[in-house]
Structure 1
Amino acid sequence: MAPNVPWPGLDDEDLLLAVANTAHGEQDELADAPSTRAWWLGIGSPATTRESRPDVTDSVAMLRALRVLIRGLALRNNGVEPDLSGASGLDALPLRLDLHGTPSLRADVPGDLARDIGAATIAALLRATGRPGWSRVKACRGDDCRWVFIDSSRNASRRWCAMANCGNRAKMATFRDRHRSRPPRAPQSQP
């Protein structure tokens, strides 16, 4: 993989969504170096991507911390203040400014796939947050979801990844809470 070059066909926001949405439920595509490589190849990255070194546990943990950061910032864009304490592992990623061609960032340690992905993702995050459309990158408000998506609604008011799933559950919970707090109605007598 060339430093700071995401795979063909994906822009900055697509790369951010791809990294942010690597874990839901029991499946974590960034669980270890082999699963990270399989995910990377599975999303269409070039087959010439370098093999990760065997001692990349810290690098993969850094990618998981980056996922927490992206989800947290996207959740903030959706009006929820996130807990970003899980993003502290990003201190382990030394970056270098790359001035060849378009200025960007690259991993300081060559040959580590997870660090290369992390460097490209951080560069994409810095570019994306500086654009007017950044506020449309949101995370689902569903407590058990947090899927990151682009809000393409006209007034940028989308709250959930899908209204049919997370949105409907949230509205039903609000409905149940509202009706639990009401006193029961007294039966009306018939004349």
Structure 2
Amino acid sequence: MTQAPGWPGLGDEALLIAVANTAHADQDEFADTDTLNAWWTGLDAPVATHRGSPASDGSIAMLRTMRGLIRGLALRNNGVEPAPAEFAGLEALPLRLDLRGTPTLLADPAGDLAHDICAAGAAALLRATARAGWSRFKACRGDDCRWVFLDRSRNCSRRWCDMTDCGNRAKIAAYRDRHRSAA
């Protein structure tokens, strides 16, 4: 796993997973500035020391769009064609190429937390999709889950984030459907 430049402690895939898994059930870590800041400071990495300006509502919406893009690509890697989504908000993100050290993308101007995370996510996405292991970056097939994970199985066949929860529910539902149609 390659470390995301400017994001010490978080590799590209770890950053993408952290962003993608910010909404589950009724909890949304990108609901507003306060929840975004709480999520940011709760990260288990030394990057949780952002000193820029607080995120605006528009930049938080852009961050939610980035989350949707990451989840959609991870679903596609797991054989699920996601519903068409609108990613036009990401096109408005002003980026600049930073060639000092490892080439990366930065928000221009830097400082807005949500824009900075989006820029780092875009750069991490470009690097991660170019690597041979990209097909292992998946989202759970559970309709009520969609948790993003790295498939570490030998043959890259994992479909659910957790076999005891999502996988078990899917297998029970398939079993009931088979027996319902047989009866």
Specify if TM > 0.5: yes
Provide the residue aligned with 2:105 in structure 1.
105
In the TM superposition, residue 154 of structure 1 has moved relative to its aligned partner by: 0.4
Task: Give the conservation status (yes or no) of the 8 Å contact 1:12–1:128.
Answer: yes
Task: Give the conservation status (yes or no) of the 8 Å contact 1:4–1:106.
Answer: no
Task: Give the conservation status (yes or no) of the 8 Å contact 1:59–1:92.
Answer: no
What SS does the corresponding residue of 1:166 show, helix, strand or coil? Answer: helix
Amino acid at match of 2:9: G
List per-residue Cα deviations over 1:147-177 (Å, max 9, x = no partner): 0000000000000000100000001111111
Query: Which whole-Å CA distance do the structure 2 matches of 1:124 and 1:159 have between them?
Result: 23
Taking a change above 3 Å as real, the CA distance of residues 47 and 144 of structure 1, as seen in their structure-2 partners, is: closer
Provide the residue aligned with 1:30 in structure 2.
30
Provide the residue aligned with 1:175 in structure 2.
175
Amino acid at match of 2:88: S
Which runs of 5 or more structure 1 residues have no equivalent in the other structure?
184-191
Superposition TM-score, scaled by structure 2 size: 0.92
List per-residue Cα deviations over 1:82-107 (Å, max 9, x = no partner): 12414332122111111122111000
Q: Report the identity percentage.
A: 66
The residue correspondences of 1:1-191 to structure 2 (distance < 5 A) are 5-6=6-7, 8-43=8-43, 44-46=45-47, 48-53=49-54, 56-183=56-183
In the TM superposition, residue 51 of structure 1 has moved relative to its aligned partner by: 4.1
In the TM superposition, residue 130 of structure 1 has moved relative to its aligned partner by: 0.1
Query: Which whole-Å CA distance do the structure 2 matches of 1:113 and 1:177 have between them?
Result: 47
Query: RMSD across aligned C-alpha pairs, in angstroms?
Result: 1.6
Amino acid at match of 1:111: G
42-51 vs 62-71, which deviates more? 42-51
In the TM superposition, residue 47 of structure 1 has moved relative to its aligned partner by: 5.1
Structure with greater Cα Rg: 1
List per-residue Cα deviations over 1:80-138 (Å, max 9, x = no partner): 11124143321221111111221110001222011011101110000000000000000
Task: Give the conservation status (yes or no) of the 8 Å contact 2:12–2:128.
Answer: yes
Query: Which whole-Å CA distance do the structure 2 matches of 1:4 and 1:119 have between them?
Result: 11
Amino acid at match of 2:11: D
Query: Which whole-Å CA distance do the structure 1 matches of 2:77 and 2:132 have between them?
Result: 12
Query: Which whole-Å CA distance do the structure 2 matches of 1:63 and 1:45 have between them?
Result: 21
Query: Which whole-Å CA distance do the structure 2 matches of 1:40 and 1:62 have between them?
Result: 16
